[in-house]
Amino acid sequence: MAGTGPAIVLIHGITSSSQSFARVLPRLAEHHTVIAPDLLGHGASAKPRGDYSLGAYASGIRDLLVALGHERATVLGHSLGGGIAMQLAYQFPERLERLILVSSGGLGREVNLMLRAATLPGSEYVLPLLAAPPLRSAATAVTRVLGAVGIRPNMDLQGMAEGFTSLSAVDARRAFLHTARSIIEPSGQRVSAADRLYLAEGLPALIVWGARDPMIPVAHAHAAHAAMPGSRLEIFESAGHFPFNQEPDRFAAVIRSFVAETEPAVFDEDRLRRLLRRPPA
């Protein structure tokens, strides 16, 4: 946690941790109380055998908000975190003031081949080799060499390298596989919120994406924007899967403007009932 002001929750992606927001968190904390947890099975959090579904993650975020004394918050989800944020909005709509989706999963089938391959049978025997110290050391060495000659390493490469490093422990790999297989299959993403996005009517929503995202195509951003009434769309033309690391100042400014220019959602059960009873388009 950092800062003071209206609460904003940052939910990281698969294999990442709260540290993935290290560049943008101080900027957001200038105007917000920022809550950035390590999801169960990630970072410094416990990695038990258990439920790693989107629903379980959403319940965990709700429990965290209650435990910290925050009734409501603006919720920002990156990648897997976007899927969790949407699930949170679906399960506990009274808890959300605004929804921010950044390079979000759960909006279409397409996803990078690397993540699809991780769900194949037998991948649990390959992951230990990919996360082995020699490979991790080589990746670190390449990153250092590029920095020494003045070339900033690609933020996507950095983010993925950090992800591989996190899988060096057995319990972390087990948690990763449980999570990945609950949302992805070899042919693509298996969980989609596309048929429920209309329920976000009345919830201020912002979609942020990197135009060069190699993990989840930017086309998902445009489709989600069209399906979410009143949503805003911000495309970072030169960024990939981690726009908040590529352009942290611009990213923080976009988030601050969105919060300042929108009123927190007011949960209305009658409106939700009408939406749920509305015939499909």
Domain assignment present for 16: yes
Pair (123, 173) in one structural domain: yes
Looking at residue 207, which CATH number applies to its domain?
3.40.50.1820
Pair (17, 131) in one structural domain: no
β partners of residue 246: none
Check residue 35 and report its DSSP letter: E
Domain residue limits at 129: 113-184
CA distances from 79 to 85, 151, 190, 220, 273 (A): 10, 26, 14, 12, 29
- Residue 90: phi and psi, rounded to 5, are -80, -45
| CB distance 85 to 98 below 8 Å | no
Domain endpoint, select from 184, 208, 231? 184
List Cβ neighbours of 84 (8 Å cut-off, separation of 6 or more): 11, 39, 54, 57, 58, 61, 77
Pair (210, 117) in one structural domain: no
Pair (65, 53) in one structural domain: yes
The CA distance from 110 to 116, in Å, is: 9
Task: For residue 7, give the nearest of 79, 76, 70, 99 by alpha carbon.
Answer: 70
Domain assignment present for 1: no
Position 140 scores a pLDDT of: 58
Task: For residue 68, give the nearest of 100, 33, 40, 94 by alpha carbon.
Answer: 33
Question: Which residues form the catalytic set?
Answer: 79, 213, 241
The 10s digit of each residue's pLDDT in 161-200 is 676 677 878 899 999 999 999 999 999 999 999 888 988 8
Domain assignment present for 2: no
Q: How many domains does the chain have?
A: 2
Q: What is the pLDDT along the chain (281 residues), one digit of tens a residue?
A: 999 999 999 999 999 999 999 999 999 999 999 999 999 999 999 999 999 999 999 999 999 999 999 999 999 999 999 999 999 999 999 999 999 999 999 999 999 888 898 888 887 767 765 555 554 454 555 455 434 534 345 677 677 667 667 787 889 999 999 999 999 999 999 999 988 898 888 999 999 999 999 999 999 999 999 999 899 999 999 999 999 999 999 999 999 999 999 999 999 999 999 999 987 66
Pair (100, 124) in one structural domain: no
The CA distance from 165 to 28, in Å, is: 27
Domain endpoint, select from 134, 156, 184? 184
Domain assignment present for 107: yes
Domain endpoint, select from 184, 208, 225? 184
Pair (38, 93) in one structural domain: yes
